[in-house]
Amino acid sequence: MNKTLSYFVILFLMAFSMSTALAASKEITGDEFMKKGDEAWQAGKFDDAAGYYGKAAKKFTDKDAQAKAYFHKGLGFYQMGQWDSALDSFEKSKSLNGQTKLSQELHYYTGLCYYAKRNKALAQDHLQKAVATDVGFQSGITELSKLFLNRTKNLKEKKFSMFSSLGYMFSNNVPLHPLSGAVNDTNVREQQGHAVNILLEPNYATFLGNRSVFTFSNTLFSNFNLTSDHRAYDTYKYKIASAVKIPGTWKNTPFYLSLPLGYDVAFSGVETVSNNTGTVNKGFFDQISNAYTFSPSIQFICSSRWDTTIDAIYDYEDYKEGRGPNSRDGFKYSGGLSEGVHALGMHWNGGYHYAYFSAEGKNYDSDTHAFHLNTNFPFWFRTNVNLTSQLALKKFFNHANARRDFGQNYGLTVVRVFDNLVGASFNTTVARNTAEPATTSYNLFTVSTNVFYNF
């Protein structure tokens, strides 16, 4: 028995040793990964090439070989316009590289990345080093460095900008037939309206450190109704927002972490209901809401054709008209996942988001499941078309306002930008909300056109 067991142990160890040796013999070397990267590069698959070069860098033990692999990995990201990920790879290469021909090329391409990011100081610094680091290997790089160094003199770091827009909108809101059969089961009135709107949005952007970007913006929006029965509902909105966008690379995947903070305030016409008689008093203009929002997100650029975004929202909403039993004040928690794909000459984006709104147990506690699918594609010279669709299932919990809403929203936007940064857009949306009970069931159709200028 012991002898038989010994035989089994010996056979097991022999099989394990052979499998280990076989796996070792099949293990891909750094040079083989470099060759695969070169083949992918020749085929124009720069994201695959960057991945292979990154794997080669991890296989090599020689610092010069590692530096070369990271340099080529950075070139792959550079070809895809992923400047921050290219800079990460170039920095790793520089930390390993001695005074070789790579030194000049590293400074040259690092300077070009900062040039593309409009960071004038760092672009000039690295291009000057590329000129000074002419070690006799790449005289062409020296001349190119001088050329771009001269161009940086006219490079403007645009910190301030202003987006302005003037638009017109037509809307038609039609109530649906009551779902439960009761004549008074809907309180949505059929309405048509015409309105003009104005938007001003000054923006400020600056670098934090070498590559992170801080932005600050103010948005002023006014909507003036031209239809007499809508006049009480003219709307004025103001939003102040700031954000930090931090680039990085995780393994071979570029990512952008965004940390926005926002405050919104809205003014409009409101109607008050008498607590004693229940009659509706005349509408008046007043502040109707505040909102404080923190909405972090992270986007992974998985390849030149695929990206993934994970986002979350923490939001406190304060509705000023919500006095008494109809208060909608509360906290909103939301999170979701979106996938972006480049296919058929278009960029597609689809995803799912869940939102929970807590109105402290009052009439507007709810949760929402929303799915979206959008696509964007060039249509004509400097004209882009954006198609959007969203399906949302919203449930209000068991209290005085208990109901389920199923919302559908479809949109078409066409945008044309001219040489002088003046642009025009046309937008139409069709929305359908089906509620049970049908107190808020309706079809809504809108058409709007805008002229905008970004300076």
**355-371 average pLDDT score:** 82
The 3-class SS string of 96-135 reads: HCCCCHHHHHHHHHHHHHHHHCCCHHHHHHHHHHHHHCCC
Tell me whether the CATH fold assigned to 20-154 matches the one assigned to 160-454. Answer: no
Pick the CATH number of 20-154 from 2.40.100.10, 1.25.40.10, 3.30.750.24, 3.30.465.10: 1.25.40.10
pTM of the full structure = 0.76
- pLDDT of the residue at 31: 87
- pLDDT of the residue at 216: 95
Q: Quickly state the pLDDT bin for 182 (edges 50, 70, 90).
A: very low
Question: CATH class for domain 160-454?
Answer: mainly beta
- pLDDT of the residue at 179: 44
pLDDT digits (tens, 9 = 90+) for 42-98: 988 888 888 899 889 888 888 888 899 999 999 998 988 888 889 988 988 888 876
Q: Within a 10 A sphere around the Cβ of 50, how many other Cβ atoms?
A: 32
- Among 22-26, 46-50, 114-118, 127-131, the range scoring the smallest mean pLDDT is 22-26
Ranges of each domain in the chain: 20-154, 160-454
Long-range contacts of 427-431 (CB under 8 A, 24+ apart): 431/407
- pLDDT of the residue at 438: 59
pLDDT digits (tens, 9 = 90+) for 204-245: 998 888 889 999 999 999 988 887 665 557 788 999 999 999
Q: Within a 10 A sphere around the Cβ of 13, how many other Cβ atoms?
A: 10
- pLDDT of the residue at 355: 94
